[in-house]
Amino acid sequence: MTSIVTLLTDGFADWETSLLNGAGRGFYKFDTAYASPGGRPVTSMGGMKVVPDLSFDAVDPANFDALVICGGSGWEGPEAPDLTDLARRFHDSGKLVAAICDGTIALARTGLLDDVPHTSNGAGYLDRTGYAGKRLYRDTPQAVTERGIVTAPGTSPVAFMSAVMRALGAADDQLAHYLGLHAAQFDGKAARAA
């Protein structure tokens, strides 16, 4: 059975990984787990309180198929957790590493984005991390998948969910239908005020 662990910090962006975890668990029967620094409860931007399953230190790549880094304000400050060891252990084990929005800041700091095409919240957004991958940045609203790494801007939770599901081998008619349901609200046009 496919198993994913999502990393959350205080101020995590509720919407960025909820589609992935909801569809993964609800429709594809994935095992989903959540981790936080020290295993402490965290509160999202929207005020949702989450009691995680484990701490970052207890996350073992042997137990999961994917490491998902949810965005949020907790990755921006000087006290942001360092994911270098954890993310590299996942990647070196051939496991998927995925980050959305400010989660890409944490991933850029690990060095894993130095030599793979990737995206984030905009050109220059990751420059403050001091990473060496700027030449490989793709300025796109879609998720970018390359060599076991998925990245996406915070405005693209549906594309992120789709890319992670595909990378985990869950691309099927059900996924195509689900993506079509989300796309239908725009009818191929930009969103308009109701």
Give residue-wise pLDDT tens across range 166-182: 999 998 888 888 888 88
Buried b (16+ CB within 10 A) or exposed e, 120-145: bbeeebbeebebebeebbeeeeebbb
**Domain segments of the chain: what residues?**
3-184
User: Given this model, what pLDDT does residue 152 score?
Assistant: 98
Q: 157 with 18: CB under 8 angstroms?
A: yes
- Give strand pairing partners of 144: 151
Angle at 83 between CA 17 and CA 60, to 5 degrees: 80
pTM of the model: 0.94
- Assigned CATH topology for domain 3-184: Rossmann fold (3.40.50)
Residue 194 pLDDT level (bands cut at 50, 70, 90): very low
